[in-house]
Amino acid sequence: MEYKRLGDYIREVNLRNRELRVTNLLGLSIEKKFIPSIANTIGTDMSAYKIVQPSQFAYVPVTSRNGEKITVALYDGEESAIISQAYTIFEIVDQDVLLPEYLMMWFGRPEFDRYARFHSHGSAREVFDWDELCNVMLPIPDIARQREIVAEYETLTRRIRLNEQMIAKLEETAQAFYRKMFVGGIDRENLPEGWRRGTLKEVADCFDYKRRPLAGYDRADMEKKYPYYGAAALMDYVDDYLFDGTYILMGEDGTVINEDNTPVIQHVTGRFWVNNHAHILKGTNGFDENLLYLILKQTKVNEYITGGVQAKINQENMMSIPVIIPSSEVVMGITEALRPIFGMLQIKKQENLKLTELQSLLLARMGK
């Protein structure tokens, strides 16, 4: 397959918000998406901000702060937006030759991230500058073939999105049932007979001793068979697994707490690998992982966090988190009622893992 130089198909754009007509301020995420900006702009001169228009790209030249991924995204909004002047905006010269969606798929490949990090340079901070981006080589098939590839990828994306919506509804149902049976109407000062106060250590076992991190270069050439989880999300796929079953993962450092002060947790099933940024838990003493998940989703953990620049929930603090332990009969009734809900939820999650794997395979085939 013949590779072409990207710089022959793109051009930089530098349109400023001089007249202050655009007010929609966006940022870029490491997940390669445009997101609403959380920057404090009080007193900021917004006329210096850059305007990004539909079908244009933006990227962050500085790569040393982003770990293994390059922050680049395609803007698919319907109206113009503004972004920080620190970003570089560019567009495709002729969309009848190169589709923006096809190029964004190329930017989504792990191989592109590794290439960009390798070609970043600098001492105080590493930068993947415009010239380096232009020197990227990629296959550019005819436009009809590009449309086929993009359509196949977007079909998988739509199915993943529908499953995510179903997962969200199932979780809402499970949490509503939990609140009704476990929280609503319960006087926490005077617990019902047979109920008592305890700690997470009494209802969960921790398996952190089994986890093992894998660096990006170790994962690069692995067959993509089993999910590889980090503190907050699925990060990659690897060729082996450490765990087989249903577990709860709780963020240990970095991404550990949500805006409502509840812990960042994942409910995972099957064969998988976990790095050393997530605690690994299983329910015990009558508590299964479904109930454990719902309990933790309702628990505030801000006072159990340590660390300065990087937040951390160490194992000792985690296992000391207070938990109300109902009678064994109540626990049994709740777990039985929750089982079919979580059964369907796990089916949808497994479908999405397979669909995500198919997306990864499609991206890998672009370079062959």
CATH class of 3-140: alpha beta
Whole-angstrom distance, CA of residue 102 vs CA of residue 93 = 14
Whole-angstrom distance, CA of residue 242 vs CA of residue 54 = 43
Domain with CATH 3.90.220.20 in the chain: 3-140, 164-344
| Radius of gyration (C-alpha) of the chain in whole angstroms | 24
Burial 141-167 (b: 16+ CB within 10 A, else e): eeeeebeebbeebeebeeebeebeebb
Which residues, 6+ apart, have CB-to-CB distance to 9 below 8 Å?
A: 92, 93, 94, 97, 98, 140
Whether residue 11 contacts residue 57, with contact meaning beta carbons closer than 8 Å, is answered with no
Whether residue 225 contacts residue 238, with contact meaning beta carbons closer than 8 Å, is answered with yes
- CATH ID of 164-344, from 1.10.150.120, 3.90.220.20, 3.40.50.10860, 3.30.230.10: 3.90.220.20
**Full-model pTM:** 0.80
Determine the distance from the C-alpha atom of residue 297 to the mean position of all C-alpha atoms in its chain, rounded to a whole number. 18
Instruction: Provide the residue-wise pLDDT of the chain in tens; the chain has 368 residues.
Output: 789 999 999 999 999 999 889 889 999 888 899 998 877 777 678 898 999 999 999 998 887 665 677 899 999 999 999 999 989 999 999 999 999 999 999 999 988 998 998 888 876 788 899 999 999 999 999 999 999 999 999 999 999 999 999 999 999 999 998 888 777 767 777 888 899 999 999 999 999 999 988 887 788 778 878 899 998 888 888 999 999 999 999 999 888 889 899 999 999 999 999 999 999 999 999 999 999 999 999 899 999 998 767 789 999 999 999 998 989 998 998 999 999 999 999 999 999 989 998 998 999 899 87
